[in-house]
Chain A
Amino acid sequence: EPEVTQTPSHQVTQMGQEVILRCVPISNHLYFYWYRQILGQKVEFLVSFYNNEISEKSEIFDDQFSVERPDGSNFTLKIRSTKLEDSAMYFCASSVYGNEQFFGPGTRLTVL
Chain B
Amino acid sequence: ELKVEQNPLFLSMQEGKNYTIYCNYSTTSDRLYWYRQDPGKSLESLFVLLSNGAVKQEGRLMASLDTKARLSTLHITAAVHDLSATYFCAVDPTWAGGTSYGKLTFGQGTILTVHP
> Chain A interface (Cβ within 8 Å of chain B)?
31, 33, 35, 41-45, 48, 50, 55-56, 58, 91, 95, 97-106
Contact = CB atoms under 8 A, between A and B. Distances in A.
A56 B103 contact: yes
Interface SS of chain B: loop
A98 B42 contact: no
The 5 closest A-B pairs by CB, nearest first: A98-B100, A55-B101, A103-B43, A43-B106, A98-B102
A90 to B, nearest CB: 11
A91 B100 CA distance: 19
26 contacts: A31-B100, A31-B102, A33-B102, A33-B104, A35-B104, A42-B106, A43-B43, A45-B103, A45-B104, A45-B105, A56-B101, A56-B103, A91-B42, A98-B100, A98-B101, A99-B31, A99-B100, A100-B33, A100-B45, A101-B45, A101-B104, A103-B35, A103-B45, A104-B42, A106-B41, A106-B42
A41 B9 CA distance: 11
Nearest to A31: B102
Contact of A50 (B33, B44, B95, B101): B101
Contacts of B48: 99-100
Given A45-B104, A103-B35, 6 more contacts: A31-B101, A35-B104, A97-B100, A98-B100, A99-B100, A104-B42
Most chain B beta-carbon contacts within 10 A, residue among A42, A91, A95: A42
Contacts of B105: 45
Contacts, number: 62
B45 A43 contact: no
A95 B31 CA distance: 14
Contacts of A44: 106
B85 to A, nearest CB: 14
